Structure formats: structure tokens, C-alpha cells
A and B are shown apart, each in its own frame.
Chain A
Amino acid sequence: MEISRHWRLRKQRYALVGEVCPHCESKIFPPRDVCPECGKEAKTPYQFSGRGEVYSYTTVYEAPAGYEENAPYTVALVKLEEGPIVTAQLTDLGEAPVQIGAPVEMVTRRLRQDGDERGMIVYGYKFRPVLAGPQ
């Protein structure tokens, strides 16, 4: 079981916490301590809004070990409104087909089991379509 690895990533997985560069204001996710835009040190935590849009998507029919329960599932590149792109599953899709450009929002969902039924459950971010109209 990879407890320590998943534990270290909890702020990113549950809360989409990245960094903001104090020099050039770029928003960084995942956090990497050096700004990819200006190259200077960037360790200030930044809470992303969770809003974004679909940049690309695909539906995986042949799931790898550990993900069979969820198959077929749709995984996407989501462009967050602050700039960075993240890889994430799409969820709560219903019947409507996914489209590039569709607005989505972050939710916390179960990603996979780690180990057997007595192992830990790995949670993390997924994105669901933002529905039009009052919610």
C-alpha cells in the first residue's frame, strides 16, 4: 500500500491546492516550487476555484488493473480558469455527450482502491459538467 505517497498529495487531491508565483503572479498546478513561467522560486500556496473547461477527453474501455470497477470511464484534460491544465476523470456525465469547451467544476470522488478490500481508498478530484439554470 502506498500510504505515504497518497498522504503527501492530499491537499492537491482533495482541495486542488497549488502555488502562485510571487514574482509573476502565474498560478501553478500541480505545485512544483519553481515557476514554469519565470523560473523563480514559487512556494506560496494557492487555492484553485475548481472551475474549468474541457480541453480534450476520451473514454477508456480497456481499464488497467485497479480501475476495472469504473470502466468504461472518461478521462479529460481540464483547463482550469486560472490557467493550468489538469488530467482528471469526468463524472456525473449523464446522457449528454461531452464536448471540448464544456464548463466543468471540481468534485471529490473515489479514484481507486489501493491494495485489497482492507487497503486504503484513494480519493481525489474529478470534474462534472456545470449545469445551466438554478442549482
Chain B
Amino acid sequence: MTEVVIAGIGQTPVEEHWDTSLRELAFNAVQAAQADAAGLRPQALFVGNMLAPQLSRQAHLGALIADFCGMTGIEAFTLEAAGASGGAALRAGYLAVASEQVDVALVVGVEKYSDTVGAEVDAAQMTSADSDYEAVQGLTPTAQAALLMRRYLYEFRVERSALAGFPLVAHVNGVGNPNAMFQKAIRPEIYERAGMVSDPLNMFDVAPSADGAAAVLLTRPNLLPPGFPQRLVRISGSDMATDTLALHDRPEPLAFEAVRISVGRACQKAHITPLQVDFFELFDAYSIYAALSLEASGFAEPGQGWKLAQGGAAPAAISLQGSMPISTLGGLKARGNPGGASGLYQAVEAALQLRGQAGPNQIPSAHRGLIQCLGGPASTVVTHVLEALD
């Protein structure tokens, strides 16, 4: 395939943006990405968003955001794949540029959870599950993760506290990210004492849903002027896979097959094995999903993923100093979980690492990273391999 690069990145802080509307939030990220890319103008816009039709009573985001960003007339539409909407939008932008049908693609992820408050928000999130057979039973996305966590602890005879390392590492990393929702480390005792949300999941096992927008500009390197001011980041592998929508239809619910398949294919396209990446921006919407994603991606055997989160005398494998850093700028747990925008935050953060712009969280000589987002319990998985272009 033709080479596709990220030429510009932009993001807003992740928080409850009470004063900022959906269209303004998207515009802020777009404006930042265009400034970062020396004013590159796109021919197409791909929007990643999950819940605007329910929470903001606003669908048709392609036309809205193109219009509001002063790009009226360009090709524009939304991609939706629950929590993987951002990744799906990135994949669509990648395919458009790689196919040479589009020269410059703008990909924006945006989510405004705070436009609705209360139990309606939980009800809206349930649309990512099987409406007829899961949601009707009162199964929330958090309850789905809890079912998996309980089964994992049972099958592999692991204590709850084994998963504590995931939120702990994420929060340590959030300290160095000025855009993160939480920029404070948490103590292990706090994890142990946290209240149950959906047992055995406690408050710190769940990434906080919040508002945010992030954007990237994609193009082919030969289209950029000489002396382009940014270090380019190449998308060297892109893949997407689905599994059964409903958790109960999986032959092996803990296997996260779609993770295994999309990582395998994305890495194959990038001519690498997964172990050759320098960091992994995985989808830690829940601590158990981090463990299962590591296992299905090939970084640990089934039931052993929790071991990568154990620190002590040596730093945990998943920490910035470890052998496979994850959530390097806070991940979903500390940077926040802005729904359909998450996949774009992962792309922006990976690009910062690969450009050498990650500040105190910089992984030395980061050359290649894996980014991955999940829709539901890995019912949809989108994986990209990013590389610094030298």
C-alpha cells in the first residue's frame, strides 16, 4: 500500500467541558491539528463519535463539523463502532489516503458525554451491547467487564488486587500529561479500599467517561512541501476485526479473539512481530480489558497478563521504565475515556512519543508503537502500527 503519514495532531484536554459545545470542541481539536500541520487543508473529513445522537440530539456530524470548521463542501461522514469509533475513523482516513482517492484526510474524534446528565447516559452507553438480549436485561458496559473480571479471577485463581497495577501505572503516567483528566498518582491502599461499582469492579477499575476531541491530518509524504516543520509518523499497519457482538455468544469469552486477529494482521502488514513495538496504547476502559488485551496481543499467556502489572523491586513491565509500556500519557484510566474520541487520543499520544515530544513521559528512542481501541468487550477491535519516519 502507498505510504500514509500523520502530518498534524491536535487535542483538547479531557474533562467535563460544560462551557464548550460539541461543534466547538471538535473545532478546537481541528484548529490545533491544522496549525500543527502548517495549515494543511483536507479534502475529506472522517468523524469518530459514539453517542451524539442520543446525548446531544445531534446526528449528521460530518456535515456539521465540516461546516463549522470552515470546510463546507468537503466529503464528510461519521464512523461508529462504539468505543472503537475513533479507530474506525482513523482506518477510514487511512484507506482514503492510501488508495489515493483523497490527498489529505482530516480525522476527528469527538464526544460530549456531559451534554446529558444522570441515568440516561448509562442507558445510552448500553446501545453498544446487544439491545435485544443483553441491554434489556440491564447489562451495562461496566457490568459486561465485571462478568469478565469475575470469570478471569475464578479461572486463573487470581486475587482482585492483581489488577491494581493497571490503574496505578496509568495514574503515574497521567501526572506528565497536561491534557489528562487525572494528573495525580494513586496509592495502592486507595485501590484496595475503593467502593464497588459492579462487583468485582471497583471505582479504580473503570476509566472515567468525559468530553474530549482529538484530530489528526493524514497525507502521503510526497505531497508535503520540502522543509515541512514536523517529524512525520507513518501508519505502517492498519487492521480491524469483529467478534460476536454479545459476550454470551463467545465460545471463549476471555479470549478477545478480535484483538488477536487485528494485532496479528496489523503487525504482518507492518512487517513486524508485536514484540517489536516500543509501547502499546491499549484500551484500558477497564483494568480487566488491559490484561485481556495484553494476552490476546501476544505479550502474555492466557491468564498471565496481570503479571505484567506487578511492580516492586523492579518497575512493572507495563510502566514507562518497563519492557512494554502501556498508557504512556495516562491511557483511558487517567487521561480519560472520551468515547468515540479515544482512538484519536491514542493516535495523537503515539505520535507525540514517536516525534520525541512526550515531555517527562518520553520513552527513550521510541521508534514504533501499537495503538488499539475496543468497541464493547472487543466486539470490534481496531489496531494500528505507527512508526517514526526517518
Contact = CB atoms under 8 A, between A and B. Distances in A.
Q: What interface size band does chain A fall in?
A: 35 or more
Contact of B248 (A60, A87, A89): A87
Nearest to B149: A58
Q: Is the interface of A mostly helix, strand, loop or mixed?
A: strand
Q: Which of B130, B132, B253 has the most CB of A within 10 A?
A: B132
Interface string A36-77: 100000000000000000011111111111111010010111
B247 A77 contact: yes
Provide the main secondary structure of the chain B interface.
helix
A68 B120 CA distance: 11
Interface in A1-38: 5, 9, 12, 30, 36
A75 B144 CA distance: 9
Contacts of B154: 56, 100
Given A75-B137, A100-B150, A62 B246 contact: no
B136 A58 contact: no
Contacts of B120: 65
Interface stretch (B45-53, B99-107, B196-204): B196-204
A64 B137 contact: no
B249 interface: yes
Contacts of A112: 136, 138
A56 B196 contact: no
The 3 closest A-B pairs by CB, nearest first: A64-B122, A58-B146, A65-B119
Given A59-B198, A63-B119, 5 more contacts: A56-B150, A57-B150, A77-B151, A100-B154, A112-B138
Interface of A: 5, 9, 12, 30, 36, 55-68, 70, 73, 75-77, 84-89, 100, 111-112, 122, 124
